[in-house]
Amino acid sequence: MHIADGVLSAPVLIGSFVVSATITGITLKKIKPEDMPRVALMTSAFFIASLIHIPIGPTSVHLILNGLVGIILGPAAFVAILVGLVLQALLFEHGGITTIGANTVMMGLPALLAYYIFRMHRLFNFRASAGIFGALAGALAVFGGVVILALLLVTTGSEFIGVAKVAALAHLPIMVIEAIIAAFVVSFLRKVKPEMLAVKQKPASPATDGLGV
């Protein structure tokens, strides 16, 4: 899903950098010193997961994990994704230097969306809701990234409409895979280390705990 240098128009690149810088400034203020180990861990996970690309026509697909990053880091997810993208561009030439702003917006905004989607599970008292909303957040984060990718390409020029359609179809399996990964990780962390999740977990009530749900 990385956009390379030379693809987007100058106005789109500049606008993306402005949006990315603004959100980065806002989210940096929300990061506490005790959050740094989690930020480093999830930055590494994002960095590694999205390095393996599978070419499909004019585009390529790879795991993104932006939904999971958002679930675990909350607002700090945007900064983690920015750092991961900068390292990928500098070390492995994945994406581009001029498109760091666009790529961060494309993957970082859906990560924030995933965080707020996952927060909704606290409206429910049964334990399984965490996994369900984790899956939903993981899938919608990928979908959101594809939508932003399409908007960036189409805004640059109508000749990219075909590429945007191929990219959308190619990422459908990724949505399913990341939904499963997010559901599994969230369910596991809720049981063994709930403090890893950005959303504080409600203690299980005796009634639901006895039912094992």
pLDDT per residue, tens digit, the chain (213 aa), is 788 899 899 999 999 999 999 999 999 998 988 889 999 999 999 998 877 766 665 566 788 999 999 999 999 999 999 999 999 999 988 888 999 999 999 999 999 999 999 988 877 765 668 889 999 999 999 999 999 999 998 888 777 778 778 888 888 889 999 999 999 999 999 889 888 887 766 555 444 443 333
* Structure confidence at residue 11 (pLDDT): 94
* Structure confidence at residue 170 (pLDDT): 82
User: What are the structural domains, with CATH classification, of the chain?
Assistant: 10-211 (1.10.1760.20)
Cα 150 from Cα 187, distance rounded (Å) = 32
Query: Which of 102, 72, 84 is CA-nearest to residue 196?
Result: 72
Cα 25 from Cα 22, distance rounded (Å) = 5
**H-run or E-run covering 61:** strand 59-61
Cα 174 from Cα 196, distance rounded (Å) = 24
